[in-house]
Amino acid sequence: MTDAGWVLDPRTPGAEKVALLTWLMLAVAAIAFVMVLGLLALGLARRRRLPLGAERWVVGGGLVFPAVVILALSGLTVWALDADTPPAGADPALTVNVIGHQYWWEIRYQPGGGSTVSGEVVTANELVLPVDQPVQLELTSDDVVHSFWVPELGPKRDLVPGRTNHLRFTIDQAGDLRGQCAEFCGAQHARMAFLVHAVPADEFETWLANEAAPAPVPTTDSQRAGMATFQQEACSSCHAIRGVVDDPAGLLGADRNRVVIGPDLTHLAARDTLAAVTVPNDRGHLGGWIADPQSTKPGSLMPAVPLDPEQLLSLLDYLQSLR
Amino acid sequence: MTTPAVAGPTVLAPAAAPRRRAASGARGDHQALHDAWEDRPGLGGWIRTVDHKRIGVRYAVTALTFLLIGGLEALALRTQLAVPDNDLLGHDAYNQLMTMHGTTMLLWFNTPMFAAFGNYLIPLQIGARDMAFPRLNALSYWIFLLSGLFVYTSFAVGEAPDGGWFAYTPLTSSVYSPGRNLDFWAIGITFLGISTTVGGINFIVTILRMRAPGMSLARLPIFGWTILTMSFMIIFALPAVTLAGALLEADRALGMHLFDPNGLGDPLLYQHLFWIWGHPEVYIVFIPATGIISTIIPTFARRPLAAHNLVIASVVATGFISFGLWVHHMFAAGLPFLVASFFSAASLVIAIPSGIQVLAWLTTLVEGRRPRLDPPLLFALGFIVTFVLGGFTGVMVAVVPFDQAITDSYFVVAHFHYVLIGGSVMPIMAGLYFWFPKVTGKATHPWLGRAAFAAIFVGFHVTFFPQHILGLMGMPRRVYTYGSDLGWDWLNLLSSIGAFVLAAGFVMVAVDLVLSWWRGDPAPDDPWGGETLEWALPSPPPPYNFAAAPVVTSPRPLWGEPEAGDGSAGDADGDSGGHGDVARATGHPAWDPVRVPVPTIERYEGEVLDEPPHGHHRAVLTSVLDATDVHVVTMPGPSTWPLALAAGVLALSTGVLLRSGLVVGLASAWIAWSFYRWHREAT
């Protein structure tokens, strides 16, 4: 699990500008506050006449000074916002669709834009992104309004059902970051986080190629039994495992778009966490999550699927093989 | 009662030359006035009252009760968040308490509290006998009370609203919030909105038509200007939220799809409708607070408010500009930058009139005498320090890319608590202490108020300052818990400790006010040496306020300040114009405006204000700009129909909640009947 974010630790050019602007605004605010305290202290002392008269102080300190600050801030606003616009002739961005659900993130890497993979790559709750390459996120929601927020990467952007919002940035430093839903979305809004792994471009390509591949074939009997459990029980009604269950519960839409209910599990074992960064992705937590989702994340929309102990153990063997 | 239904005021011919009353007749007049205006004792009189002072006190007591309830809700939230992974409150309980905390504080405490101050003080400060529409005033109160009971019934049935205080769709649609929780919310705020809107209308007409003769708009006390501005803002803003609530309920109850993206609706439409009200709303609760401060500081500094006219212009400008800010609540929603930039510019510009007011208060203090650190002044100082900090973070969040970084995080929670508690609640506390002697005739405890201030000030900053940092550290708002690996533990614990200190401060205020009202020492009629007309009356004032309408010739009628220009603070060297002359004439040194024994109020004694026949209530109407052209009107008296009508609206709300056509039908009939009987009832 990763530490929380920090707005003042920027990892993109846009976030750098905002961080700089923030420090500047804090400095100006501190100076202005000291001046106000100074006047207040004078006000609590014996009466004195202000040079030039009270009205000139009111106009100077209350109108002119704020107006100058505001003018400066307006200009700086435009300067800070500019960083997200791609320069002319820039490489096409890596495009990732992020679709919000109660209470998890559906992530779909799109082909093109410098990606070496020819098809769509679907995962959940963890974004791996290349450093020094423009990334464009296309954001929408399947249900209610959510918001995508990684403090180090710059602005947050809402995921609004019925519209697609965009977020562009170029990460300039490798590292692991944590994001969290920033628009109240219901019962488990508090536990709807996600991870961002910023890695060098070649590492990203390796990861993406692995994700694009269908699910690893089970190699042991236990794993095969687990795969069978997955296919026969309720799991396959909501979760896809590419190559095993491509179309949960036959819910392909008219234009052959899958209606998505639960996260894609094709490479579940490659992820660090479960339930949108609620618990670590290890055998114990995975077993607990499957056996009783409500005790890990009460109000989550995953139902408890009753399984025999052997079924659960073999299912865990299978799921843990899905690297 | 044989006079016909009062469709409008009865206009008598203006009196000819005013007759001077012999002193020996005065007592008889006052007794007859007292008998005509005083409510009958017992429950009947209590229910039927239209006395603005009693209604004002009721508003205050009810609103302060909601403050304490909202505070308990906040303590529950802060206790849950004091440690990570806490299981004191589950998500269900937390989300309900979180929603009700915000809803209660802003709608059922903060806004009605200014209805309380306005109701009590405006008629007194303008030299009037009552509000323009006394029964409508009573209706406002009853609706406020009953809508509060309605929305709090949701707790009793375990279905309190839980969609956040702004209740964004589609989360709050019937699809994602199938229970009755959001019905309580949407119906409740629509119900309450009637009270607020009607109150705004009442204040506007009162201030524009019922000022004492000679009190031109330029001589209207600054508190009156802030209530007037607030009221205009109310009548323009409230319809937006009333519509938002009603349309949300229509989506939920009638299966409409206004906000449903799957049904060609738009969730952002809801956000716009909500915030078109929501932003002006916070200025609705800020502007009258500045009026309180602009009353208290000059009184304590013994110097008229600096740049008085500029301050009034700033108040009005703030009211206008506040309607152009609302999209700054939606900077992350994905609207084009060109759209956002307009609202960002307006959000920056509104800092200017606030800056003018802050400098006016500071320079008034600097040029005034050293003030006594009594609770009204202490809370005013607390306001300045806290609101200024909130204003600075406000300027920061007006900058679009910064806002996009920290909106919906604890940074913005810190910001709005700084501007709301600093900018509105502290002035409320100041105002309570300032006017308590006038309302009750008692003094507050010698040191409990000061101790309460200390607890509130320290507790507030310990609670909310760390939250700026938590927001920068990535903590979103409205989370019922957080993990222990995020580094948020210590700041949350500190914030929660501060919350208890803050709460203790409010409890101390409550204890002080209750005990002082019950057992406090008697207070003089004018303990502070105030500028405005209410201080000329006994404490508490008689039910009819003024036996004779005062004729006002100055903006500070009780400071003996004859007109010197337009009542501004004075010329460039800080002298307050003619004020110095009067001070010299009465032997007081300049810069020391101790109240002149014979203030420049001439008693207007004429036939028009003789004891009213048949116990009718009479009041004076004057013209809008200059308060000349005096007419006498008969005012409506006590009535049960406001309560009856409010009860009908409660029944209607319940019918919609229960989806019962029968109840809705019966309630509508009762409302129509109440309207009819109210209209028919003579004075």
B469-487 pLDDT per residue, tens: 999 999 999 999 999 999 9
Entry pTM: 0.91
- Average confidence (pLDDT) over B87-106: 97
- Average confidence (pLDDT) over A191-215: 94
Q: Is B230 strand, coil or helix? A: helix
* Residue A303 at interface with chain B, using a CB cutoff of 8 Å: no
| CB-based burial label for B565 (10 Å; 0-12, 13-18, 19+) | exposed
Give the residue on A whose Cα is nearest the Cα of B309: A55
Model confidence band, residue A80 (pLDDT cutoffs 50, 70, 90): confident
Q: Best residue in A22, A47, A297 to probe B by mutation, most B CBs within 10 Å?
A: A47
Strand ranges for B446-570 from DSSP E: 550-552
Q: Are strands A134-141 and A165-170 parallel, antiparallel or unpaired?
A: antiparallel
Q: What is the mean pLDDT of chain B?
A: 87
Strand ranges for chain A from DSSP E: 94-101, 104-109, 121-124, 126-130, 134-141, 146-148, 157-159, 165-170, 175-180, 193-199, 273-274, 279-280
Q: Best residue in A49, A98, A160, A301 to probe B by mutation, most B CBs within 10 Å?
A: A160
Which chain B positions have a beta carbon within 8 Å of A34's beta carbon?
A: none
Number of alpha carbons in the 13 Å side-chain half-sphere of residue B618: 22
* Torsion, CA B600, CA B601, CA B606, CA B608, rounded to 10: 140
Q: Give the A:B interface size as CB pairs under 8 Å.
A: 281
Rg (CA), chain B: 25
- Average confidence (pLDDT) over B551-578: 52
pLDDT given at position B607? 37
Residue B167 has pLDDT above 80, yes or no: yes
Lowest-pLDDT range, B106-115, B153-162, B411-420, B630-639?
B630-639
* Residue A190 at interface with chain B, using a CB cutoff of 8 Å: yes
Residues 466-505 of B with CB under 8 A from A: 471-483, 485-488
Which chain B positions have a beta carbon within 8 Å of A66's beta carbon?
A: 351-352, 355
The reply to whether residue A18 touches residue B402, judged by beta carbons under 8 angstroms, is yes
DSSP letters for B393-413:
HHHHHHSHHHHHHHTTBHHHH
Is residue A96 within 8 A of residue A172, CB to CB? The reply is no
| CB-based burial label for B599 (10 Å; 0-12, 13-18, 19+) | buried
pLDDT in tens, B83-92: 999 999 999 9
Q: Best residue in A145, A148, A164, A272 to probe B by mutation, most B CBs within 10 Å?
A: A145
Residue B581 has pLDDT above 70, yes or no: no
C-alpha B404 chain-centroid distance: 31
The reply to whether residue B332 touches residue A29, judged by beta carbons under 8 angstroms, is no
Measured between alpha carbons, how far is B227 from B210 in angstroms, rounded to an integer? 14
Residue B421 has pLDDT above 50, yes or no: yes
pLDDT given at position A150? 96
Give the residue on A whose Cα is nearest the Cα of B591: A47
DSSP letters for A60-107:
IIIIIHHHHHHHHHHHHHHHHHGGGSPPTTPPPPEEEEEEEETTEEEE
Indicate if the alpha-carbon torsion angle B239, B245, B250, B256 is positive or negative. positive
Model confidence band, residue B605 (pLDDT cutoffs 50, 70, 90): very low
Q: Best residue in B300, B311, B367, B397 to probe A by mutation, most A CBs within 10 Å?
A: B367
The reply to whether residue A178 touches residue B359, judged by beta carbons under 8 angstroms, is no
Measured between alpha carbons, how far is B194 from B649 in angstroms, rounded to an integer? 10
* Residue A23 at interface with chain B, using a CB cutoff of 8 Å: no
Which chain A positions have a beta carbon within 8 Å of B491's beta carbon?
A: none
Residue B606 has pLDDT above 50, yes or no: no
- Average confidence (pLDDT) over A45-70: 93
Structure tokens at B452: 């309460």
* Residue B87 at interface with chain A, using a CB cutoff of 8 Å: no
Which chain B positions have a beta carbon within 8 Å of A162's beta carbon?
A: 261-262, 266-267
* Residue A22 at interface with chain B, using a CB cutoff of 8 Å: yes
Residue B290 has pLDDT above 70, yes or no: yes
Is residue B618 within 8 A of residue B555, CB to CB? The reply is no
pLDDT given at position B589? 31
pLDDT given at position B620? 84
The reply to whether residue A40 touches residue B90, judged by beta carbons under 8 angstroms, is no
Which chain A positions have a beta carbon within 8 Å of B350's beta carbon?
A: none
Measured between alpha carbons, how far is B511 from B515 in angstroms, rounded to an integer? 6
pLDDT given at position B2? 36
pLDDT in tens, B235-279: 999 999 999 999 999 999 999 999 999 878 999 999 999 999 999
pLDDT given at position B582? 35
| CB-based burial label for B356 (10 Å; 0-12, 13-18, 19+) | buried
pLDDT given at position A288? 95
- Average confidence (pLDDT) over A63-80: 92
Structure tokens at B457: 């000030």
DSSP letters for B267-305:
HHHHHHHHHHHHHHHHHHTTHHHHHHHHHHHHHHHTSPP
Q: Calculate what percentage of chain B has a pLDDT beyond 70.
A: 87
Q: Is B609 strand, coil or helix? A: helix
The reply to whether residue B363 touches residue A39, judged by beta carbons under 8 angstroms, is yes
- What are the two backbone dihedrals, phi and then psi, of residue B551, each rounded to the nearest 5 degrees? -95, 125
* Residue A304 at interface with chain B, using a CB cutoff of 8 Å: no
Lowest-pLDDT range, A176-185, B18-27, B194-203, B517-526?
B18-27
Residue B1 has pLDDT above 70, yes or no: no
- Determine if the peptide bond prior to B524 is cis (ω within 30°): no
The reply to whether residue B571 touches residue A1, judged by beta carbons under 8 angstroms, is no
Residue B569 has pLDDT above 70, yes or no: no
Which chain A positions have a beta carbon within 8 Å of B95's beta carbon?
A: 184, 186-187
- Average confidence (pLDDT) over B597-618: 47
Give the residue on A whose Cα is nearest the Cα of B166: A184
Measured between alpha carbons, how far is B674 from B660 in angstroms, rounded to an integer? 21
Give the closest residue to B36 by CA, choosing from B635, B611, B631. Answer: B611
Structure tokens at A25: 């605004």
Give the residue on A whose Cα is nearest the Cα of B369: A47
Residue A18 has pLDDT above 60, yes or no: yes
* Residue A42 at interface with chain B, using a CB cutoff of 8 Å: yes
Among the partner residues A5, A191, A299, nearest to B473 by beta-carbon distance: A5
Write down the H helix ranges in B562-637: 579-585
Residue B554 has pLDDT above 90, yes or no: no
The reply to whether residue B401 touches residue A3, judged by beta carbons under 8 angstroms, is no
Residues 128-147 of A with CB under 8 A from B: 139, 143-145, 147
Q: What is the mean pLDDT of chain A?
A: 90
Which chain B positions have a beta carbon within 8 Å of A36's beta carbon?
A: 358, 362, 384-385, 388
Indicate if the alpha-carbon torsion angle B140, B146, B149, B153 is positive or negative. negative
Model confidence band, residue B600 (pLDDT cutoffs 50, 70, 90): very low
Q: Helix B267-284 to helix B287-301 angle, to the nearest 10 degrees?
A: 20
Structure tokens at B371: 């003030």
Which chain B positions have a beta carbon within 8 Å of A80's beta carbon?
A: 399, 401-402
* Residue A1 at interface with chain B, using a CB cutoff of 8 Å: yes
Distance of residue A24 Cα from the nearest chain B Cα, in angstroms? 10
* Residue A87 at interface with chain B, using a CB cutoff of 8 Å: no
